[in-house]
Structure 1
Amino acid sequence: MSDFSQRFLFDDTDVRGELVDLEQSYAEVLAKHAYPEPIAQLLGEILAAVTLLSDILKYDGLLVLQARSSGPLPLLMVECSSDREIRGIARYEAEALGEARSLRELMPDGVLTMTVDPKVGKRYQGIVSLDGETLAECLSSYFAMSQQLPTRFWLNADGRRARGLLLQQLPADRLTDGDERAASWEHLVTLADTLTAEELLGLDNETLLYRLYHQEVVRLFDAEPLRFGCSCSRERSANALVSLGAADAAQLVEEQGGAVQIDCQFCNQRYQFDAADIAQLFAGGGSSEPSPTRH
């Protein structure tokens, strides 16, 4: 299994952790577009981040992280469904990229929006400024400022593998004394801060946890698989055309030389609709491709 997340618990204190490892799905995201190295790395980090977040948030639907900025990287967007399918995309300005490599250089004045879009119920949205040195630092600051459970992130990617580590303090159970809880949390975080990028990207989970916490009692749970998946479909593209109305959709077909082409930005899948398809849509015939025999 090359793409998975794995939960672990510290038995003697109220802290849980998550580890994520992305290879195949990361490769599939990068294969859709020719990204420069620093953007491919940041895209890998945010893919790992959305996966870690999906493991600690309860939802049935879609979790979206979208970063926008005024810099050479104006858009990063990744999604993780409750079915554990991930996808992502970056939009960058090649002529403005120059020597920019860090988060601040790539996304100055950046803002990260986290959206939980459930199948049933209301959407939830949180916003954090991208004013830290790294994406992991920005996400950790968001949890600190939002008065949620203390949560820390460590993220790295190198264009081939994207990895993430998360620690989260749980409500008081094993440790009820405030000073003891604070000391335990600080101890575990301080040890995680010693982890190098090379170690996070190069070690398997068991070895990594032993490297950090061989003096702690740690339970590592079974791995949960992840995969690349795109939610685009011919039906969803057809619904977008229906929302235009019959007259505007027909005019669009005419303006584009007899067929409308809708391309998915995430997976490059192309959906084509000609005049017969449009007529079928508005006649209630659905979005399936009509017979090659036209009448």
Structure 2
Amino acid sequence: MSHTTPRPASHADQIQRFLFDQTNVRGEIVTLEAAYREVLDRHAYPEAINRLLGELLAAVALLTDTVKLDGTLSIEVRGQGMLSLLMAESNPGGELRAIARIAEDAALPDVAADFRSLVGEGQIVITLDPREGYRYQGIVALDHATLSGCLEAYFGQSEQLPTRLWLAADGARAGGLLLQRLPHEAQNQDIDAWERSVHLAETLKDDELLGLDQREVLYRLYHEETVRVFEPKTLRFGCTCSRERMAGALITLGAEELREILAEQGSIETQCHFCHTKYHYSAAEIENLLVDPSAPAPTIH
């Protein structure tokens, strides 16, 4: 196995791209620890949901790096089971955030509850929001037993590229491996590389994906292949909320509802669901926004 840079020190929160020389197969491997813990520390979710959130964080990091988006990518799992919403968001700067929403009056799930028993029927919505250009959404039904299976179906439907995902999380660490077969096979390429790389990845155990250094995982799987490993990118928890964004969300409630709240409370306080930061708006600030929604966001007094 070859690589283009010296082996770095092990880093728990990073994503690394690799490819197989003389083939049309590429991959990404991600490991999360501190960023995953920051998400969980802000909420008090049951253990089964913590694991699923970890898988989703790993998945959104893998997809963001794979599609090379200069903007924000989000994955929303909208279910009809006890877990009504699971959402994770990532950007090219390596910032991640995630949240879960549990249906009202839902019973505490079993520790071993799996993806389908938590989510039930529903759909996955993947949103690509570039800094420039048009917003794109892809929707796939929850027709598979696992989150990785549903996301593989998205790539087959929207990207039309054979893609395989392996995701794992245990409440302390999260990890993921993605393999993708690109089009345009050349005559000198190894035509069996895709099937072989997937077959080897199927032998990967969750505890190896979560516990081993990324280079060790790749060596364990592909030490007989010629693998080019690129410089890893550091990942971290990061929330994109701001007074401007929260003010924009308030405006969508409409003037009548906002004025009713002001009549009852005298001011409006709202909180980011991802990081729990609170934002306070006076009656005068809200009235200014209602008069001119495009005006600069209220400043803190």
TM-score, reference length from structure 1 = 0.89
State the partner residue of 2:83. Answer: 73
Secondary structure, counterpart of 2:203 in structure 1: coil
| TM-superposed deviation, 1:122 | 1.4
Secondary structure, counterpart of 2:18 in structure 1: strand
Unaligned runs of 5+ in 1: 291-295
Distance 1:54 1:175, change over 3 A: farther
The one-letter amino acid paired with 1:15 is V
* Equivalent in 248, 269, 275 of residue 261 of structure 1: 269
TM-score, reference length from structure 2 = 0.87
| TM-superposed deviation, 1:147 | 5.9
Asked if 2 retains the 8 angstrom alpha-carbon contact of 1:70 and 1:109, the reply is yes
Secondary structure, counterpart of 2:106 in structure 1: helix
- Map 1:33-72 onto structure 2 (within 5 A): 33-72=43-82
State the partner residue of 1:228. Answer: 237
Structure 1 residue 287 corresponds to structure 2 residue 298: yes
State the partner residue of 1:277. Answer: 285
Secondary structure, counterpart of 2:68 in structure 1: coil
| TM-superposed deviation, 1:261 | 1.0
Asked if 1 retains the 8 angstrom alpha-carbon contact of 2:48 and 2:109, the reply is no
The one-letter amino acid paired with 1:89 is I
Structure 1 residue 16 corresponds to structure 2 residue 39: no
| TM-superposed deviation, 1:148 | 1.5
| TM-superposed deviation, 1:199 | 0.8
Cα shift readout 1:186-232 (whole Å, capped 9, x = no counterpart): 11100000001111111111111111011001111111111111111
Asked if 1 retains the 8 angstrom alpha-carbon contact of 2:20 and 2:26, the reply is yes
Asked if 1 retains the 8 angstrom alpha-carbon contact of 2:65 and 2:92, the reply is no
Asked if 2 retains the 8 angstrom alpha-carbon contact of 1:97 and 1:106, the reply is no
- Map 1:18-33 onto structure 2 (within 5 A): 18-33=28-43
Q: 1: distance between equivalents of 2:287 and 2:145?
A: 53
| TM-superposed deviation, 1:248 | 5.1
Cα RMSD, aligned residues only: 2.2
State the partner residue of 1:293. Answer: none
Cα shift readout 1:256-284 (whole Å, capped 9, x = no counterpart): x2221111111111111123433565586
State the number of aligned residues: 286
The one-letter amino acid paired with 1:142 is Y
Q: 2: distance between equivalents of 1:287 and 1:31?
A: 30
Structure 1 residue 204 corresponds to structure 2 residue 216: no
- Off by >6 Å, runs of 4+ in structure 1: none
Q: 1: distance between equivalents of 2:121 and 2:300?
A: 45
* Equivalent in 126, 150, 153 of residue 165 of structure 2: 153
| TM-superposed deviation, 1:103 | 0.9
The one-letter amino acid paired with 1:172 is H
Secondary structure, counterpart of 1:101 in structure 2: coil
Distance 1:246 1:126, change over 3 A: closer
Q: 2: distance between equivalents of 1:236 and 1:145?
A: 32
State the partner residue of 2:8. Answer: none
Unaligned runs of 5+ in 2: 1-10
